[in-house]
Amino acid sequence: MVKNRLLTVASLARCIDHTLLRPDADRGAIERLCEEAIRFQFAAVCVNPYWVPLARRLLTASAVRVCTVAGFPLGACPVDVKCYEVRRAISDGAAELDMVINIGVLKSGEDRVVHEEICKVVELCHSQQALCKVIIETAFLNDDEKIKVCRMTKEACADFVKTSTGFGPSGATTADVSLLRSAVGPTMGIKAAGGIRDLQCALGMLEAGATRIGSSAGVKIMAEATQTGLR
């Protein structure tokens, strides 16, 4: 878990997935996203699947990883479709996959189906040496459901549980990040995403237990971090 007092500008940057998932994002916007990621040395860029090959080419000489999404943003497609998306994305150059669970199936009480879906996607990612982040979309879940799906995610050996798509009714909250941390324990990754638009919010998520921040405001966060005296 990252504590604010231990952060530097460089270590903060390595906690950020520089994200652009808007449907109207064009080639120029993806190119700028990748250039910014290289400049600040973010952990990854997160782009829609179509743009993975371009991002991979632009980031080949850098340490910035390419992240993309599967079953996004609703999570409501069958697991074999999600697995196809994962295979295609990895083939195109993605090193990290953020997969949305089937929220409606979880709300229906079909826990076994959700658990099997998570296991299949995680296993596929790991067989190709890719990280898997499982998006649970906390805004649609009560606390018992959040804890339950976190435990499923941990049992499946996912690399991260992720709060939100950024397309739901609300995004990450520090309360949810704290709850997720208590559910998965001290070592599993937690990605906070959705509505994180400034340094104060980002630091709050890290203090609450997040290890990765998904944000389209990475450049703004880094500018604020520099201004506050982080080195």
Q: How far apart are the C-alpha atoms of 182 and 10, rounded to whole Å?
A: 27
Closest CA to 194 of 138, 110, 144, 118: 138
Active site residue 162: yes
Question: Is 120 tagged catalytic?
Answer: no
- Give the integer Cα–Cα distance in Å for 44 and 98: 12
Token pair recorded at residue 200: 């104060």
CA-based R_g, the chain, Å = 16
Catalytic residue among 17, 98, 159, 176: 98
- Spatial contact of 6 and 203, defined as CB atoms under 8 Å apart: no
82, 133, 148, 162: which is the annotated catalytic residue? 162
Closest CA to 129 of 154, 97, 99: 97
**Which residue of the set 133, 146, 148, 191 is catalytic?**
191
Which residues are the active-site residues?
Answer: 98, 162, 191
